[in-house]
């Protein structure tokens, strides 16, 4: 029991501390590709610190939904983060069907964000919420199918189980099913984390925003919580992609040595994944909003093909 508690604490700390770093890394890499120096890799920490020290402005029209949302988003994301294998094949938490719970905990956070966007009555919030839900409704099935593909291979929807099978020798990353599901998950990752070509996290144009438009009315610590939650979600999805499809280096035992080895591999793989995200963001323009469904339909098709091919090969 104590061991489980300890693993949960370790993984939680990792999530909270590494998540802003990944965001900073992506920003810095992007800046370098644009011949800019960039704000530095530690900037997200400084931003969070600044936000938590600031006062807040609450819209007069906001209800309890607006105040509850930052906590719900943060908590749901953090709990989901404890349910994925990060530095050990065995995740600290494994509740309610594993991966399904992860997907729907993220869904809960998004649901509240969308409500909060509508809650203030600002037209931008409504615009953002409607866009976010449009994209979510398309990204979620693609993500579920991709996850099912690996779940079938492992005969379980528990992520710990999937990771355990994945680290064993019977796993074939180059199997068509795995490749297709991986591609689908990568597209979902781009959409879910609000990256170009789906959303532009760096824009100041309120009319083009998706995620940023929903949280436009937030300020101070609430905004800090939401931003932090968003970066945890990004880390979580990246880790899920890495450890479900490329599990090499992931140790199956909780031990100091095992954790350190896993952590080193994780950081290395995160770096590679961050670079590929940056390359996608740099070489593409943002899509016209009504083309985003095409992209997600592609993700869905890839995932569906992956699922079918698990039975063929």
Tell me whether residue 129 or residue 239 sits nearer to other proteins (CB atom).
129
For other proteins, which stretch binds (CB under 8 A), given 14-22, 160-168, 220-228, 276-284? 276-284
Question: How much is the CA Rg of the chain, to the nearest whole Å?
Answer: 19
Cα 239 from chain centre: 8
The residue among 84, 121, 95, 12 whose CA lies nearest residue 238 is: 84
Maximum CA extent, the chain? 59
Of 206, 261, 293, 308, the residue at the interface with other proteins (CB under 8 A) is 206
Structure token pair of residue 273: 């994944």
CB atoms within 10 A of CB 173: 12
Q: In the range 290-309, which residues lie near other proteins by CB under 8 A?
A: 290-291
Tell me whether residue 13 or residue 202 sits nearer to other proteins (CB atom).
202
Q: How far is the CB of 215 from other proteins (least distance, A)?
A: 13
Of 42, 275, 283, 313, the residue at the interface with other proteins (CB under 8 A) is 283
Tell me whether residue 3 or residue 205 sits nearer to other proteins (CB atom).
205
Supply φ then ψ for residue 197, to 5 degrees.
Answer: -90, 5
Of 3, 55, 60, 204, the residue at the interface with other proteins (CB under 8 A) is 204
Q: How far is the CB of 258 from other proteins (least distance, A)?
A: 41
Cα 306 from chain centre: 21
The residue among 292, 272, 77, 78 whose CA lies nearest residue 187 is: 292
What is the rounded CA–CA span in Å between residue 164 and residue 251?
A: 9
> CA–CA distance from 124 to each of 36, 127, 180, 229 (Å)?
30, 5, 36, 21
Helix, strand or coil, per DSSP, at residue 42: coil
Give the CA-trace dihedral at 23, 127, 133, 219, to 10 degrees: 40
Q: How far is the CB of 234 from other proteins (least distance, A)?
A: 18
Q: Is 276 in the site for other proteins (CB under 8 A)?
A: no
Convert residues 207-236 into a mask of x (bound to other proteins by CB under 8 A) and - (unbound): xx----------------------------
Convert residues 65-104 into a mask of x (bound to other proteins by CB under 8 A) and - (unbound): ----------------------------------------
> CA–CA distance from 84 to each of 90, 158, 164, 192 (Å)?
8, 9, 12, 17
Tell me whether residue 130 or residue 252 sits nearer to other proteins (CB atom).
130
For other proteins, which stretch binds (CB under 8 A), given 39-47, 119-127, 176-184, 298-306? 119-127
Enumerate residues 6+ apart whose C-beta is below 8 A from 39: 24, 27, 28, 31
Q: How far is the CB of 204 from other proteins (least distance, A)?
A: 4
Q: Is 2 in the site for other proteins (CB under 8 A)?
A: no
Q: How far is the CB of 281 from other proteins (least distance, A)?
A: 8
Q: In the range 121-140, which residues lie near other proteins by CB under 8 A?
A: 123-124, 126-127, 130-131
Convert residues 10-49 into a mask of x (bound to other proteins by CB under 8 A) and - (unbound): --------------------x--xxxx-------------
Asked whether the beta carbons of 102 and 78 are under 8 A apart, the reply is: no
Residues in the chain: 313
Q: Interface residues with other proteins (CB under 8 A)?
A: 30, 33-36, 123-124, 126-127, 130-131, 196-197, 200, 202-208, 281-291
């Amino acid at each position: 029991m104590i061991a489980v508690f300890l693993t949960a604490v370790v993984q939680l700390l990792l999530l909270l501390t590494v998540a802003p770093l990944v965001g900073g890394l992506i920003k810095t890499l992007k800046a370098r590709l644009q011949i800019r120096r960039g704000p530095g890799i530690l900037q997200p920490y400084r931003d969070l610190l600044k936000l938590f020290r600031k006062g807040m402005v609450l819209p007069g029209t906001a209800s309890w939904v607006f105040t509850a949302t930052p906590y719900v988003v943060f908590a749901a994301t953090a709990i989901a983060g404890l349910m994925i294998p990060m530095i050990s094949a065995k995740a600290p938490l494994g509740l309610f069907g594993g991966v399904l719970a992860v997907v729907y905990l993220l869904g809960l956070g998004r649901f509240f964000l969308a409500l909060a966007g509508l809650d203030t009555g600002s037209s931008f919030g409504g615009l953002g919420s409607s866009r976010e839900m449009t994209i979510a409704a398309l990204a979620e099935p693609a993500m579920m199918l991709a996850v099912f593909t690996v779940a079938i291979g492992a005969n379980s929807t528990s992520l710990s189980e999937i990771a355990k099978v994945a680290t064993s020798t019977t796993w074939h990353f180059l199997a068509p099913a795995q490749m297709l599901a991986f591609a689908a998950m990568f597209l979902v990752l781009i959409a879910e984390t609000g990256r170009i070509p789906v959303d532009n996290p760096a824009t100041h144009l309120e009319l083009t925003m998706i995620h940023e438009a929903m949280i436009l009315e937030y300020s101070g610590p609430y905004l800090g919580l939401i931003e932090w939650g968003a970066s945890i979600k990004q880390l979580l999805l990246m880790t899920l992609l890495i450890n479900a499809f490329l599990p090499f280096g992931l140790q199956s035992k909780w031990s100091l040595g095992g954790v350190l080895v896993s952590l080193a591999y994780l950081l290395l793989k995160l770096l590679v994944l961050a670079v590929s995200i940056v390359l996608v963001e740099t070489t593409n323009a943002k899509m016209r909003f009504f083309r985003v469904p095409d992209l997600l339909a592609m993700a869905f098709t890839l995932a569906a093909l992956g699922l079918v091919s698990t039975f063929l090969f």
